[in-house]
Structure 1
Amino acid sequence: MTDRESPPDPERPTEPAPPLPLAEGDRVVAPKAGGLARSGLIVSVMTMLSRVMGLARDVVVAALFGAGSGADAFFVAFKIPNFMRRLFAEGAFNQAFVPVLSEYATRGSRREVRELLDAVSGSLTVVLALLTALFMLAAPWLVWVFAPGFGRDPEKLALTADMLRLTFPYLLLISLTAFSGSVLNTWNRFAVPAFTPVLLNISLIGAALLLTPLMSEPAMGLAWGVLIAGVAQLAFQVPFLVRLGLAPRPWPNFAHPGVRRIMLLMAPALFGVSVSQINLLLDTVLASLLAPGSVSWLYYSDRLVELPLGVFGIAIGTVILPALSKRHAEQSSEHFAAMLDWAIRAVLLLGLPAALALALLAEPLLISLFHYGAMTEQDIAMAAMSLRAYAFGLVAFMLIKVLAPGFFARQNTSTPVKVGIIAMVANMVLNLLLIWPLAHAGLALATALSAFMNAGLLGWLLRKEGVLVFQPGWGRYAVQLLGGCAVLGVGLAWLAPDWQAWLGWGVWTRVSWLALLVVVGAAVYFAWLAATGVRIRHFRMKS
């Protein structure tokens, strides 16, 4: 399949028809052009709500289970289907499905779009149902593969396997949710898919508070919460598909041309888009061989990095993929290049100060969020080490999210997979080199370094292909960003109390100080940018 292969119906005009309601006429038109910044803001706000609820969830789990065996078992049992969810649903499937769906929506008929949705949803359900059943049966072996260190504790291994049998159906449910979200995103309905993860956090908080006291093994209540969340998230999105007239009637059809194209695109994308997730999973495997609590230390630090990554990086990547796919279908190469440049600028605008703040405030953040109940001062100190290492790679994690769509939107998945394999091998080597002197923090640092290699190669190849063309003004912009980060760093270092003092404070004192630091840091950073000429209008971009 070449980049410029004909659309589903080549006799139809290449330009979209005038906007019509979906239910009228035979054509399904591409969504109206909207502002990428506005769409990104919508996704960012919803993602922020989800991440804040996720942190609240982790606060509850940390208070109840700390970094003990029950927490380790749950994190592994949740990480395995969650990893595969990102690999299949939000990863390879989404990156392969959205460009094909965008092409059908831009150039195809309403009937062709409906047939594609029916065939894809039915085929996806069959494949994932079989995988779910197989992995539930193989749960003990999966645990041994992904957390071999648990083999030293038969009770911990058995508990994790029992949890995994409850959490694995989440893969099927959340993948169908991701399918629904991809359709909604293609029609510029970004708010609903971005809000949906909130339901996972609500379910887990409810399970932690209400179900765990009823269980003979309290941590099993969290596994039930994952299963409940999968049902709730899928049920939440279906009515919005019905309202658009896009609710599929699932019927497997692997011979459908669109399904075949998606499958061909997915195969290499399984590696290309999810390398960072594979690297994080490798961290878990090796961490299970280290001191007890290592898995949890990495988990808590990764959760803090996921907040800005989701709010900024993933949000921008989410809105830019359908827009890039549309521009590629319309063969608008100049607008395509300008969108990529816009995405990189937006990521750096928010990613650089976020990474710096995470590194400078590692202990205060961890203490404010997690130092309650079973979470000890030693746990805080250990998690802070891996948090700083992950923060170092935050900008690279974000850049991957916006550079990879530059390939996937053009239905090129072979190039990112080659880059992904190189980065994954580098991560393995760095893991083995850094785990001995730095323990779990070495695993986090290896992930960060390999992410920079991944992002750097993706950017270099996009430039080489002429797809990424930097717009004028990058020199001035770099000075503005670096100056803003310098002002931010000085302000936080001067204002923040020593982290040992935070240990003796109550929750409201911690929250108040943390809020003050966030507000002051943001104020001085954006004040510097405003004083040096950065304006909101500079980030306006039509989809």
Structure 2
Amino acid sequence: MPQHVRQIAKDASIVGGATLLSRILGFFRDMILAYVLGAGVSADAFYVAYRLPNMMRRLFAEGSMTMAFVPVFTRLREEVGDERAFAMPRAAMVWLLIILGVLTTLAILFARPLTHLITPGFADDPALFDLTVELTRIVFPYIIEISAVALCMGVLNSFGHFLAPALATSELNTIIILGAGVAWLFGLNVPHTLAWAVVVGGFGQVLMQQPQMRKYGFSWRGPWSLKDKGVIRMGLLMLPTAFGAAVYQLNIVIGTLLASYLPTGSISYLYYADRLVQFPLGVFGVAVGTVALPSLSKLASSGQTGEFTETLNASLRLTLFICLPAAAGLIALAEPMVHILFGRGAFGPHAVSATAAALVAYGVGLPAFACVRPLYSAYFALTDTRTPAITAAVCLVVYVIAGLALMGPTAHVGLALATSISSWVNVAVLGVILRKRLGGSWFRPGRTTVIGALLSCGVGLGAYTTAGWPLLALALILVWAVAYMGLASLLRVEEARLLTDFARRRLRRKIRA
């Protein structure tokens, strides 16, 4: 296995571990929010308001800027050295503050028409609509903060540091949990308090990146120019990427719009189900794509096509090896998982069943959600941001058609299933085009994927037999994970051995320490 692949697996494990902590805090956060907000008016208003800046983060944060920044900054460091290259992130930050400052001001001033555009169905309920407008005005500045975090992430990732950015979300979750606790203890307005907590948490995310950036010699004080060539090049790469991200966000907007015409609570059901599917996706699926980008960028810039192809192949195999059993487990344990995590307080039995059904639909698409990120990393490393943008537009059409066809008979579950369908189409289209570019045999699933798929079926069937005992079912998740990795290691799956050896070495170091 090439050194680049071993490094990707190692870094992905580090990012995955940090993300695991964040997801655990995220679940604890969602459990608390489900208790204090439920799945009614307050929850729908808060999640729509919180979703707006998070939709834009793909335009100005890790969705496009970071992906365009890393290849350009990596090449610039090789050409002119670190000190001169540091002028690029300084200039990029100035541009972010200018552009996002204007957009945030407009969003606050025109929050009412913006809310009506995103959720026209809310207009039938004046109280819900007005609350959403108020929360939008409070939360929207978070886009500036999270975009600054994404820029810092790009700098650190280019140096091969992934831990601090991966821990940033844990800080935000902690602040939101504290906000919910303060609101509940002191009888404050819960949705308003949570909205302010998001803004405070975003500022904290920016601050926690700074020590590591200084460690690599970076300072925000220094030369910069609005005409910086690196930023201009990044901007040119971002144009099609931003279009693709805009299409992706339009997908979310359309989904929210359609869900606003469904029974009250539909948006919340989809949100909680999405949060659950984001757990395995963020812990390892997105982690592989994040850590693969710097390595793929270096290989592409040096013209090492063969090693580039092998690194991408290994990244996809590693992604599928982890996400196939995760998808099987989510589908098999959807009901007990939602019941244990959220089924209390204002989140009643109907909300549990509705959220579990959406989770099953999302689970079908989990492997596709995960594979898109390494594929995007490959295209961005090749400085081809146009193709992902075009495929995103194609998939938007697929989503709208599937959503409209399925939401009638299956309500919010149809929208979740439409998301999975469009994601699989995205993977297929990206794969076919990349195959023509890299060669007919660029992706070789090999025995890793075959064995992983068969073992995942066993994991799913085994987990399903315990679904009638919710506490036992969740307690056995670790057992199924260990059994999966153990059997894969016995069958000499290289990815399993690589991950278990790395985990074993880390454990020995901690014991010795």
- Offset at 1:354? 0.5
Pair 1:213–1:156, CA change in 2 (3 A): farther
Pair 1:343–1:281, CA change in 2 (3 A): farther
Pair 1:517–1:231, CA change in 2 (3 A): same
Alignment correspondent of 2:370: 398
8 Å CA contact 1:324, 1:409 repeated in 2: yes
Pair 1:33–1:456, CA change in 2 (3 A): closer
- Higher alpha-carbon deviation: 342-351 or 529-538: 529-538
Residues 359-401 of structure 1 show CA distances to partners (whole Å, capped at 9, x for unaligned) of 0100111011001111000001111111111000011111111
Alignment correspondent of 1:225: 197
Alignment correspondent of 1:479: 450
- Higher alpha-carbon deviation: 251-260 or 79-88: 251-260
CA distance in 1, matches of 2:301, 2:400: 38
> Paired residue for 1:208, among 168, 176, 180?
180
CA distance in 2, matches of 1:181, 1:468: 34
Query: Residue type matched to 1:419 in 2?
Result: T
Residues 168-227 of structure 1 show CA distances to partners (whole Å, capped at 9, x for unaligned) of 111001100110111011101111000111011001000001035556532111101101
Alignment correspondent of 1:518: 477
Where do residues 159-170 of structure 1 align in structure 2 (5 Å cutoff)?
159-170=131-142
8 Å CA contact 1:65, 1:374 repeated in 2: yes
> Paired residue for 2:16, among 41, 44, 52?
44
- Offset at 1:469? 4.7
8 Å CA contact 2:485, 2:496 repeated in 1: no
- Higher alpha-carbon deviation: 89-98 or 253-262: 253-262
Alignment correspondent of 1:256: 228
Pair 1:353–1:179, CA change in 2 (3 A): same
Pair 1:399–1:360, CA change in 2 (3 A): same
- Offset at 1:273? 5.0
Alignment correspondent of 1:351: 323
- Offset at 1:139? 1.2
Residues 57-96 of structure 1 show CA distances to partners (whole Å, capped at 9, x for unaligned) of 0000001111010011000000111111133201111111
- Any gaps of 5 or more consecutive residues in structure 2? 500-513
Query: Residue type matched to 1:535 in 2?
Result: E
Pair 1:238–1:468, CA change in 2 (3 A): farther
Where do residues 297-316 of structure 1 align in structure 2 (5 Å cutoff)?
297-316=269-288
CA distance in 1, matches of 2:259, 2:224: 40
In the alignment, structure 1 residue 425 sits paired with structure 2 residue 397: yes
Pair 1:250–1:309, CA change in 2 (3 A): farther
> Paired residue for 1:98, among 57, 62, 70?
70
- Offset at 1:336? 0.9
Query: Residue type matched to 1:520 in 2?
Result: V
In the alignment, structure 1 residue 331 sits paired with structure 2 residue 290: no
Where do residues 313-324 of structure 1 align in structure 2 (5 Å cutoff)?
313-324=285-296
> Paired residue for 1:528, among 475, 481, 487?
487
> Paired residue for 2:170, among 178, 198, 213?
198
Where do residues 103-502 of structure 1 align in structure 2 (5 Å cutoff)?
103-212=75-184, 214=186, 217-249=189-221, 253-273=225-245, 276-466=248-438, 469-470=441-442, 474-494=445-465, 496-498=466-468, 502=470
CA distance in 2, matches of 1:220, 1:251: 40
CA distance in 2, matches of 1:258, 1:468: 34
8 Å CA contact 1:120, 1:253 repeated in 2: no
Query: Residue type matched to 1:171 in 2?
Result: I
CA distance in 1, matches of 2:5, 2:216: 17
In the alignment, structure 1 residue 56 sits paired with structure 2 residue 28: yes
Larger helix proportion, structure 1 or 2?
2
8 Å CA contact 1:483, 1:528 repeated in 2: no
8 Å CA contact 2:463, 2:473 repeated in 1: no
Query: Residue type matched to 1:490 in 2?
Result: L
Pair 1:262–1:348, CA change in 2 (3 A): same
CA distance in 1, matches of 2:211, 2:336: 42
- Offset at 1:247? 2.4
8 Å CA contact 1:301, 1:384 repeated in 2: yes
Q: The residue matched to 1:90 in structure 2 has which SS?
A: coil
8 Å CA contact 1:349, 1:481 repeated in 2: yes
Alignment correspondent of 1:77: 49
- Offset at 1:449? 0.2
8 Å CA contact 1:340, 1:468 repeated in 2: no
- Offset at 1:303? 0.2
8 Å CA contact 2:333, 2:467 repeated in 1: no
- Offset at 1:126? 1.2
CA distance in 2, matches of 1:83, 1:468: 36
CA distance in 1, matches of 2:327, 2:249: 19
- Offset at 1:39? 0.6
8 Å CA contact 1:355, 1:394 repeated in 2: yes
Where do residues 17-28 of structure 1 align in structure 2 (5 Å cutoff)?
none
- Higher alpha-carbon deviation: 109-118 or 263-272: 109-118
Alignment correspondent of 1:19: none
CA distance in 1, matches of 2:440, 2:159: 25
Query: Residue type matched to 1:238 in 2?
Result: Q
Query: Residue type matched to 1:159 in 2?
Result: L
- Higher alpha-carbon deviation: 193-202 or 261-270: 261-270
CA distance in 2, matches of 1:376, 1:426: 33
- Any gaps of 5 or more consecutive residues in structure 1? 1-31, 503-509
Q: The residue matched to 1:219 in structure 2 has which SS?
A: helix
Query: Residue type matched to 1:305 in 2?
Result: V
8 Å CA contact 1:199, 1:233 repeated in 2: yes
Deviation beyond 6 Å, 4+ runs, structure 1: none
Q: The residue matched to 2:274 in structure 1 has which SS?
A: helix
Pair 1:277–1:395, CA change in 2 (3 A): farther
CA distance in 2, matches of 1:281, 1:302: 15
8 Å CA contact 1:434, 1:443 repeated in 2: yes
- Offset at 1:275? 5.1
Residues 95-145 of structure 1 show CA distances to partners (whole Å, capped at 9, x for unaligned) of 111111111112223343022122111112211111111111111111111
TM-score of the aligned structures, taking structure 1 as reference length: 0.87
